[in-house]
Structure 1
Amino acid sequence: MTSSLPSTPSQTVGPYLHIGLTWYDGPYAVPLGTPGGCWIRGRVLDGQGEVIDDAMVEIWQADPDGHFAHPDDGREVRPEFRGFARSDTRGGEYSVYTVVPGAVDDIQAPHIDVSVFARGLFHRVVTRIYFPEHTETHRTDPVLAALPQQRRNTLIAERSDDGYTFDVRLQGDGETVFFDV
């Protein structure tokens, strides 16, 4: 007689991300007071529009000159620029302090790459934040151009008093566009 063992259940990427994946300078892609520095704040929302308060948001971006703080880029970045930040949503929203990036290789409009980790997700979801003041380059950005016109607005941040607001909707009406990377 052959016996088989049951499958190991799948694990989701949340909900306890804030326990081991936060650190002191996590929400700062640049130090406070950096010229041009701004906050990007937002909520992560589930399919019913409810706030998810145990998610984590990571950003990775180019500096204002369009250069990445990574050895593969090969170009010098500004000394204060880290280009990576991470924030949990325990208070109902995430907050990261950064600078608006420059265009990447003069092809892609200024944007920030975003990963979201949350309960119920088997893998992170990946999206982008574009900025409302760069509408001219939005028309020629290959990623935005590949999307249906009615979905592009889910990737555009809104101006706020001290920076920008960008909510991530995981499902439902107004679902944020996510990329298969």
Structure 2
Amino acid sequence: MRRRKTLSAEDRRLWAGVARTAVPLKDKVLPSYPEEAEAPPQRPAPAPFDPRPNLAPTSPGRHSEPRALKVQPSIERPTKRKISKGRIAIDARIDLHDMTQDSAHAALSNFLRQAQMMGMRHVLVITGRGKPGGARGILKRMVPFWFASAEFRMLVSAFENADRHHGGEGALYVRVRKR
């Protein structure tokens, strides 16, 4: 036989706080919970982390993008092998080491725009791997998120981790989208 557990005053207060934030189902009423006088003041919840850069909203128009562009998560294996072995040349490279996120974002955007204007097809973006025992490499984590944003989807068609002699996990092969 199961024993029913009674809630402590603290548990009842916590549950009442959670229940007040719930949205009742259709045709159901939210039960009332007594207000506790000794309830400590609640701190506002921190804003959730958004890895995407804070971009200004686009102006409303009929279509913000002419067509749906998607970034492929990876370059095809034969193409990557040819880049790695040097049969397909890397047209340009950018090193983002020791840059802040803001300056790296601006530098990468300008670099990819220039590469697209000059008709370059494959470029190398060096982000760094981070420190082994310390920081995990913020640019290594953020650059793929940036490539998924609307700003970079117009510039990048695919990207993949570079081969070991080009920087390994600390660098990316990037295929620049044709104009």
Shorter-chain TM-score range: under 0.3
Bigger relative CO (Cα 8 Å, ≥ 6 apart): 1
Per the normalisation by structure 2, the TM-score is 0.26
TM-score computed with the length of structure 1 as normaliser: 0.25
